[in-house]
Amino acid sequence: MTENLMAGLLPFEHEPYFNFAERNVAEQQREAFKLVRQKYVGQTFPLIIGGKKVDGDGTFAVHNPAKPAEVVWQFQKATPKQLEEAIADAQAAFEGWRYSDPMQRASIFKRAADLLRKRRMEFNAVMTLENGKNWAEADGEVAESVDHFEVFARETLRWAAGKPVYPMPDEHVTTIYEPLGVVACISPWNFPSAIPLGMALGAIAAGNTVIWKPASETPLSSYLMVELLFEAGLPKNVIQFVTGTDDVLGDPLVDHKDIRMIAFTGSKEIGCRIFERAAKVQKGQKWLKRVIAEMGGKDPTIVCADADLDEAAAGIVASSFGYSGQKCSACSRVIAEESIYDELLQKVTEQTDRLKVGQPEDNAQVGPVIHAGSAGRIGEYVQRGQQSARLVCGGGATDNFVEPTIFADVEKGDPLFQEEIFGPVLAFTKAKDWQHAIELANDSEYGLTAAFYSRDPHKIAEARRRIHVGNLYINRKCTGALSGTHAFGGYGMSGTNAKVGGPDYLFWFLQTKTIAQKY
């Protein structure tokens, strides 16, 4: 039956991006900013626990990173008691949702996709105001969220069909998949729509319930997505939306005996802490907790001597400085063969020098980093880097705005080469040849994305085999994974390789049951 339902769905197509070069499209986006400022700025938003909107113990302010003094909205601080209530309500909701019809889930996701299509520019504007993305970056993420709804609608039905087994002559044997329980979804500020939505939809599509804990820098992008799911028909107790401080929603959430699984995206430091704490069986806990974690990257772009250097340079600049380098997939290392090193460096530098830094609300090419703490940390890398490498361009900062920065002649042991900076800082390193370049690329504890530029089929074949990352891109930039096509997740300290948006993702949120009935 499920296969018949799948056959009734139209073929999946990625949501197209808005073309802001068209005057009428740009004007619609400007109007959306006016709407968002009238509708949301200055408002205080609630927790959602047990299907009810409730206040916490005080509030916290959310600031516009492009105008640090501007408070755009406020959110609640959940109490320890409210966390307990949220988990208990999620447990109670699980007993019903786990048996919900997969077609019901798929239909909700399809309706949510249609609702989001109508409000994309509004969601773009909200995101820009709370995390500093320009129009194209915000729109790319909201379009990905539409894709998530469409992809998970289909994946819900596909996994509900179970898997065939080798037959027995005297038994009817089936393999089916069942949900786990309450899933805590802990998300970052840099993709406040697509990342928490992907994790939550993985849980919900499988029949689990969710504790949705957004980053405190970007809660409204998440809150609106939860409200949109409810509008699409999701029972309101399937998601508990909680905001607040780490002392309440950090370790206590991860440690809680009734949390069955943690889905996390963020820093290596926090991901490792979650992984370690979740391994401890708490008093009264009846399972081993499952953890999926995506924890960042130090993503290389390898450029061979035979590559198209103009294409490589364009891909490097876009993937290094798009959203000020604040992507786990951002290119932060360029490893180029020595014969074309200087020429490529010049091309990348020239393109970088042309980038305009400014207000994301005005659709500037490069906007701010998320807050002053991030700007200060990036500045420390830039200051130390000038003692070990050659500063080619950039290096300056004003308030939360950090100039696109390039260092050349970076050695493989340098922190610029090894450590995730999470800002607009790019390291250029020279390789003796293309094979040495692959060795340098693999010299990292991370393994999320990489790009490889070459026209030689032999080199490309070797790169496909030898580059140790979860997402390898040949002759294109290393950012811009599309849901349903580029299953996303890395190796090593980049995380657990759960591959959101891919054909295996739902398996992480399920457990397998074999049923044998003798004839």
Catalytic residues: 294
SS3 467: coil
222 backbone φψ class: left, alpha, beta (φ>0; ψ -120 to 50):
alpha
Structure tokens at 165: 């087994």
HSE-up of residue 119 (Cα within 13 Å, Cβ side): 19
H or E stretch at 52: strand 52-54
Q: Are 214 and 243 in contact (CB under 8 A)?
A: yes
For the CA atoms of 414, 419, 424, 429, what is the dihedral angle to 10 degrees?
A: 40
How far is C-alpha 177 from the chain's CA centre? 26
Q: What are the C-alpha distances in Å from 334 to residues 342, 354, 409, 478?
A: 12, 19, 10, 11
Q: Which two tokens stand for residue 91?
A: 């447990």
Where do the H-state alpha helices sit in 232-371? 246-249, 251-255, 268-278, 309-321, 338-353
Q: Which is nearest to 91 in space by CA: 233, 248, 274, 286? A: 286
What stretch of H or E contains 149? helix 135-160
Place of tokens 């900013």: 33
DSSP 327: S
